[in-house]
Every structure is written in structure tokens, then in C-alpha cells.
Amino acid sequence: MPWIKLFNSEAEAKAQVALTKAKAVLADGREICLAHTPAGLFAVENLCPHLGDALSRGTTNYLNEIICPWHSYRFHLATGEECKGRTRPLQRFPLETREDGVYVHLPETP
């Protein structure tokens, strides 16, 4: 699957997703979670691997984790790992900032 453009610039992306927050965005019809932390922007699957709440409704912390709003499992945004290994890691998607915008790369769906 090709890279999919999400925003026209990194500034636009950061304006849409406030620092320490997350937001659900559509990429080629697929909902993903975009999180913004002091370490940058991260794209991960939106549905929590535990019981499926939307991580985009969660918050982030100073450890660069996203915290699920339901049972507060914490996933590291750089690795996808849950902090205590209570469920599988989050699927992460590469983000790339180019001259003309911010792009995400999604794997092929089976």
C-alpha cells in the first residue's frame, strides 16, 4: 500500500492533534490513532488490543506512552509494548514528514 497523506504540513498535524493528546484519523478508510507527545507524532492502531476501546480517547504521559481510557493499560508509542506486557503490543505505522505534508504507511490488509 502506498504512503497516505494525512496533513499538508507538520504544523497542520500538530495543530489538529494537541500536544499530549491523541486523535482518530482516517487513512484510506482505515481509522488509526495519531498521538502527539514531546517526542513527536506517532501513528498506531486505534483499537486497544485488550478489549477494544479507542486509544484516540486516551491520553499520553511523560514516558511517551498512550494510556487506554478504559482499563488504563499503557503502551509505549515508540515500541508499541504495553508497560506490563498484559496484552500484545500495539501495531505502529511509520510516519514521514515531506515537503508537501505528513504521510503514514499502512500495511496491506489481508
Which residues contact ligand FES (rule: CB under 6 A)? 48, 50-53, 68, 70-71, 73
* Smallest gap from residue 37 Cβ to ligand FES (A): 18
* Smallest gap from residue 18 Cβ to ligand FES (A): 21
Strand order in the sheet with 59-60: 59-60, 65-67, 74-76
Closer CB to ligand FES, 25 or 68, in the complex: 68
* Smallest gap from residue 69 Cβ to ligand FES (A): 7
Give the integer Cα–Cα distance in Å for 20 and 62: 9
Closer CB to ligand FES, 58 or 95, in the complex: 58
Take residue 27 and report the three cell numbers written for it: 487513512
Closer CB to ligand FES, 10 or 53, in the complex: 53
How large is the greatest C-alpha to C-alpha distance in the chain, in angstroms? 39
Closer CB to ligand FES, 53 or 81, in the complex: 53
Give the integer Cα–Cα distance in Å for 106 and 58: 22
What residues are paired with 47 via a beta bridge? 54
Give the integer Cα–Cα distance in Å for 47 and 62: 22
* Smallest gap from residue 52 Cβ to ligand FES (A): 6
